[in-house]
Every structure is written in structure tokens, then in C-alpha cells.
Amino acid sequence: MSAMAKIKVTFEIYPDSFEMLRQAGEKHQIDEISKVLRCLLDYAATDGDWEKIFGTIRCRRCG
């Protein structure tokens, strides 16, 4: 467990994105949606290729 303090934030996501987080948590036995999101953010920060992440448009809603 990290000794770093967490901060509380509020933001909006689409229902299908929330469902994706919920399913990932269920699959990996993570009870808190916020922890699932933290895992994804940690991956993006440490192993993610930011050009691949942000350089390609992947909007599932823009059509």
C-alpha cells in the first residue's frame, strides 16, 4: 500500500466507460472502481506510450 495520500476528485464519464471499469474490477477481483482507474493511470504513466495513447483518435461516440 502506498504511503502517498490520495485526493478526492470528481469527473464525468460515459456509462459504457464506467461499465468497462466495473467489468475490469470484477475480472481482476478489485472491489473499488477508483482502484481500477488508478491501475490504468499507473500503467499509462509508467508503461504507456503517450503518443500511441493520445496520438490516435479512438472516440467510440463520434462515429
pLDDT digits (tens, 9 = 90+) for 27-59: 999 999 999 999 999 999 999 999 998 898 888
Residue 13 lies in a domain: no
Can you give the residue range of the structural domain that contains 55?
Answer: 32-63
Q: What pLDDT shows up at residue 63? A: 62
Task: Please provide the distance, in angstroms rounded to a whole number, between the alpha carbons at the two ends of the chain.
Answer: 41
Q: Is residue 25 part of a domain?
A: no
* 49: in domain: yes
Q: Give the pLDDT mean for 13-33.
A: 96
Q: Helix (H, G, I), strand (E, B), or coil: what is residue 25?
A: helix
Q: How many of the other CB atoms lie within 10 Å of CB of 21?
A: 19
Quickly state the pLDDT bin for 1 (edges 50, 70, 90): low
User: What pLDDT is recorded for position 60?
Assistant: 80
Residue 39 lies in a domain: yes
pTM: 0.81
Q: What is the pLDDT of residue 40?
A: 97
CA distance 16 to 8: 22
Q: How many domains in the chain?
A: 1
63 belongs to a structural domain: yes
One DSSP character per residue, 36-55 reads HHHHHHHHHHHT--HHHHHH
Residue 17 lies in a domain: no
